[in-house]
A and B are shown apart, each in its own frame.
Chain A
């Protein structure tokens, strides 16, 4: 698709771009620049003196075992969320793609979780998994499973992964369903006539043809797990028990807001920013090469 509008002169296009540029500048570029600047400074706890320290904050952060722990948590958390959200969404999309009764209802219901705010979704999961008041939490304890995510770090991680993935399933579902529906029916019929059973058809034809979608979603899900899950973690576990569910983004908050270590917090967020920029670049590079038609 190549639709270009040719403007005479530069004033009008510049004017049309201005609102968007202003928003980007004020809400994205400026805070990001402030974060970068802040990451090069060190303040005392009362904010009375500020000193330029160069890259010292970064060196401290990377050497800090607490940050490394958070990085490890994030790796586990983000990959689990992405895998779970992608897997469940793909399964549901494949089911919804079949001609079934009430498919519109079914599809609509699956899209709803996306409209739920992170904190609300966290509360929903809390009502399910709280050891004392949660339906499933109580059932688990009654069944003899020692379930208390407030004490058990592994269980806490499991809970935030499930709650975070649940919200992302809807988004993935829409993309997977669209991807599935764009696969020509005759291609699947050709595979059926070639002798491939449904499962084989899925892995040799459907899944490869979905790979651009899958890859796109993988990156989106990783970015989501890195940044947008703060609300879920904050409402469910606050990074605990101990630091079992403290991810990098949560640590940025704890160090900056609770511990008032602004330099370190800024350095951490700059590191995160660099990571996501890298991820996005990789995505754009790959996606162009791997689209099949």
Chain B
């Protein structure tokens, strides 16, 4: 158990820079989820923490000890790989015991810990089998077992659930969280799945093009996204982003789609006509209200208890809404209301959030 500190970590492969200065401080026992689209540098960051890659500049410290130039073996960490990376020629028990054996743990101690860990993960009956005789979910558990048996300072997870089917993924997600909380080991979890990110993390790091776009708790990221990228990435369906300009001395926004919306939380800085991007989550759209826009529906997705609508506004912008209950068929025009209290205001040029 330990803290993890990254300071100004950058990584370049030749002329391409994939990480532009990442700073992150992880508290003891905290679970941090690094989330982002593919190619955002999240896996590279994890591999730098693991010691499988060396940062171009910057420092990594685990438990206060500088480890930037140390081999993976000297960092006292454990990692769960996307493809599990079990040793194909070893049994489940040997797979789990491998790290302990290398550290010279006595035989009886190894046997005891293998049994204990197998019990914890419910893989006791599989100990004598080879990885090829296991199902995906079982391999996943063995990979977890191999990681926790060593009682490392740090757990690293590299998209560990992405090779499982949807149902198993939900189940394993819960198990990983329970296990992590029970063992209290500081963890870094990389995923591209925002649901995994929201449910697993104490805090999220939303990565975008080699930068940490936002580091905050899941609810904070959802409620107050730091920029338009985070706003569009977290939440499903994605947040609507509409163009507008500042009006009434900063007290309101004039949407290109028509309505004028008054900010309920106070005026924004900047002159009249400052270009803005206004975010509104699909689930916050209403059937009725003051600021009405008309949507030409082109796709209706009934989900049972609610319906997701996709359509185009008069301004040509696309809009998605999630409404309770039934909704008219495709091809019709539908009036929808934008509630002023649910707006997110961003600068149109920088994409940064503008608070009152």
CB distance from B87 to the nearest CB of A (A): 6
Contacting pair B81 A209 (CB below 8 A)? no
Tell me which residues from 98 to 150 in chain B have a Cβ below 8 Å from any Cβ of chain A: 98-99, 102-103, 130-132, 146, 150
Q: How many residues of B contact A (CB 8 A)?
A: 26
When distances are taken between beta carbons in the complex, the residues of chain A under 8 Å from B78 are 193-194
Given the interface pairs A189-B52, A189-B72, A292-B132, the reply to whether A195 lies near B102 with Cβ below 8 Å is yes
Contacting pair B72 A193 (CB below 8 A)? yes
Contacting pair A186 B83 (CB below 8 A)? yes
Contacting pair A205 B87 (CB below 8 A)? yes
> B89: which of A192, A195, A200, A209 is its contact (CB, 8 Å)?
A209
CB distance from B48 to the nearest CB of A (A): 13
> A196: which of B102, B130, B131 is its contact (CB, 8 Å)?
B102
When distances are taken between beta carbons in the complex, the residues of chain A under 8 Å from B102 are 194-196, 200
Contacting pair A193 B73 (CB below 8 A)? yes
Cβ of B270 < 8 Å from any Cβ of A? no
Contacting pair A194 B99 (CB below 8 A)? yes
Tell me which residues from 204 to 228 in chain A have a Cβ below 8 Å from any Cβ of chain B: 204-205, 208-209, 211
Cα–Cα distance between A189 and B51 once the two chains are bound (Å) = 10
Given the interface pairs A200-B102, A292-B132, A293-B132, the reply to whether A192 lies near B85 with Cβ below 8 Å is no
Cβ of B231 < 8 Å from any Cβ of A? no
Cβ of B272 < 8 Å from any Cβ of A? no
When distances are taken between beta carbons in the complex, the residues of chain B under 8 Å from A184 are 83, 85
Given the interface pairs A190-B81, A293-B132, the reply to whether A209 lies near B98 with Cβ below 8 Å is no
Cβ of B335 < 8 Å from any Cβ of A? no
Cα–Cα distance between A197 and B103 once the two chains are bound (Å) = 11
Cα–Cα distance between A184 and B83 once the two chains are bound (Å) = 9
Cβ of B50 < 8 Å from any Cβ of A? yes
Closest to A200 in B: B102
Given the interface pairs A200-B102, A293-B132, the reply to whether A193 lies near B79 with Cβ below 8 Å is yes
Cβ of A187 < 8 Å from any Cβ of B? yes
When distances are taken between beta carbons in the complex, the residues of chain A under 8 Å from B85 are 184, 186-187, 189-190
Chain A 20-52 interface mask (CB, 8 Å, partner B; 1/0): 000000000000000000000000000000000
Tell me which residues from 156 to 200 in chain A have a Cβ below 8 Å from any Cβ of chain B: 184, 186-187, 189-197, 200
Q: Closest 3 interchain pairs by CB?
A: A194-B99, A186-B85, A190-B85
Contact sample, A vs B, 22 pairs, CB 8 Å cutoff: A184-B83, A184-B85, A189-B72, A189-B81, A190-B79, A190-B85, A191-B87, A191-B98, A192-B71, A193-B72, A193-B78, A193-B79, A194-B73, A194-B99, A194-B102, A194-B146, A195-B99, A196-B73, A205-B87, A209-B89, A292-B88, A293-B88
Name B's A-contacting residues (CB within 8 A).
50-52, 71-73, 77-79, 81-83, 85-89, 98-99, 102-103, 130-132, 146, 150
